[in-house]
Chain A
Amino acid sequence: MRIPILKLYDCLLVSIQWELDDQTALQFQEDLLHKIHEIGASGVVIDITSIDFIDSFIAKVLGDVISMSKLMGAKVVITGIQPAVAITLIELGISLNDVMTSLDLEKGLEKLQQELGE
């Protein structure tokens, strides 16, 4: 099943609602980049409130798609990282250092607006 990507003005909004398998994650990577290209998006918010764990593979796919989006001129904010996810990611040794994050979707959109200077 594909992850829906919604257009919101010049931004894209993604809410990941179920556990990601490898195929879905890689498909999402491709879909998001095509969508950025298609609508000329300048910002993306990826909400992962419903995700209750992230392993190193999913972390790599997320980190990669953020770098790829950046190459295309779009800024990405990840929102809704749960406490258990934050704890396990750091213990696993993954810090996602260069990634913009916000507590929830609302704050994520605000951060994106600031970043895009509107």
Chain B
Amino acid sequence: MENQSCVNIQTEWDIVAARQLGRNVAKELGFGIVDQARITTAISELARNIFIYANKGRVRIEKIYDKGHAGLRIVAIDNGPGINDIRLAMEDGYSTSGGLGAGLPGVKRLMDEFDIVSSKGKGTEIVATKWIR
């Protein structure tokens, strides 16, 4: 099986497809039930952000290996408007869309590693990784 797979996000159905893909890969890698839920939730949040803020983009799920450890990496990429103030976007309860504002800081807590690069007018790339303990 390929070590990475990708879902294009254009409709809300693609959000479902992305998280189902992520859950299957997480299961395959041997993540426990709680980590599977964390990964599924994180993918759902990231895919929804793409759908809401950038209209379209893609979510890539990668199996990664480092020093004998296996992990799952989510890469969420869009060419949308970018995030104005990343520090503000990473604050709990902050939302520009009337949502719960749990998105990005929540994803950071659910995953082990979290990285975000965004430039205004060009888009956003978020990379989040979970390792098998």
Contacts and interface: CB of A to CB of B under 8 A. Distances in A.
Contact of A53 (B13, B41, B100): B41
A52 B33 contact: yes
Contacts of B105: 93
A97 interface: no
B38 A56 contact: no
Interface string A80-93: 00011101100111
Dominant secondary structure at the B interface: helix
Which 3 residue pairs of A and B lie closest in terms of their CB atoms, listed nearest first? A92-B106, A84-B37, A55-B44
Given A23-B12, A91-B110, A84 B34 contact: yes
A92 B109 CA distance: 7
B34 A93 contact: no
Interface in B59-108: 92-93, 99-103, 105-107
A26 to B, nearest CB: 10
A94 interface: yes
B15 interface: yes
A94 B44 CA distance: 15
B128 to A, nearest CB: 13
A19 B22 CA distance: 14
B37 to A, nearest CB: 4
Contact of A88 (B34, B48, B92, B100): B34
B41 A93 contact: no
The winner among A21, A59, A83, A93 for most chain B CB atoms within 10 A is A93
A56 B45 CA distance: 7
Given A91-B109, A92-B110, A93-B106, 11 more contacts: A52-B33, A52-B40, A53-B44, A55-B44, A56-B45, A56-B100, A60-B99, A87-B37, A88-B34, A92-B106, A94-B100
A60 B100 contact: yes
Interface string B7-39: 000001101100110000000000001101110
A54 interface: yes
B38 A88 contact: yes
A87 B20 CA distance: 19
The winner among A22, A85, A91, A94 for most chain B CB atoms within 10 A is A91
Interface in A64-118: 83-85, 87-88, 91-94
A22 B51 CA distance: 12
A71 to B, nearest CB: 19
